[in-house]
């Protein structure tokens, strides 16, 4: 350990581990539930949901990568797969044709709308039910502070 850098104390370590464990457990459960019920991995759901909530059902690829916390190359691979599955299409957005939008198809809209109830059910049962409204507001503020 470099000089001057103290180990995390018990409170710091507990807070960090708690955050990481809750996130990992929730992601694992959401992914399993969405895959089992809808054949849709969580990352695909997140992309389709972002498109569903966007104006005209489309977003620039770079913007979509930020929403889903994926690299641009990871997003391109995911959009390629969703396009093969008929859930998204692409359209150019720059005059020179270099940039492009991912566009939600009718099939993609149907799939994400069907998966929404499963997603919300897991989030509520596995996470939100443990907290009151005030606690959730405080937690949201504390997490936002770290960002």
The 8 Å CB, 24+ separation contacts for 12-18 are none
Tokens of 127: 């996470």
CB–CB of 34/41 below 8 Å? Answer: yes
- 45-81: per-residue pLDDT in tens? 999 999 999 988 999 888 888 877 788 888 889 999 9
What pTM was estimated for this model as a whole?
A: 0.86
- The three-state secondary structure class of 102 is strand
Distance CA 140, CA 57 (A): 27
- Whole-number CA gyration radius for the chain: 19
Tell which wins on pLDDT, 10 or 4.
10
pLDDT digits (tens, 9 = 90+) for 117-138: 999 999 999 999 999 999 999 9
Highest mean pLDDT among 1-10, 15-24, 58-67, 70-79: 15-24
């Amino acid at each position: 350990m470099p000089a001057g850098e103290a180990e995390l104390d018990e409170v710091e370590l507990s807070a960090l581990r708690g955050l990481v464990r809750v996130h990992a457990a929730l992601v694992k459960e959401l992914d399993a539930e969405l895959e089992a019920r809808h054949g849709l991995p969580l990352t695909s759901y997140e992309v389709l949901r972002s498109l569903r909530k966007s104006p005209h059902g489309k977003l620039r690829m770079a913007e979509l990568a930020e929403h889903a916390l994926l690299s641009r190359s990871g997003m391109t691979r995911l959009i390629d797969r969703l396009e093969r599955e008929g859930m998204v299409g692409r359209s150019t957005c720059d005059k020179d044709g270099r940039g492009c939008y991912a566009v939600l198809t009718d099939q993609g809209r149907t799939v994400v709308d069907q998966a929404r109830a499963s997603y919300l059910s897991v989030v509520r049962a596995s996470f939100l039910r443990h907290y009151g409204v005030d606690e959730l507001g405080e937690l949201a503020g504390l997490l936002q502070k770290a960002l």
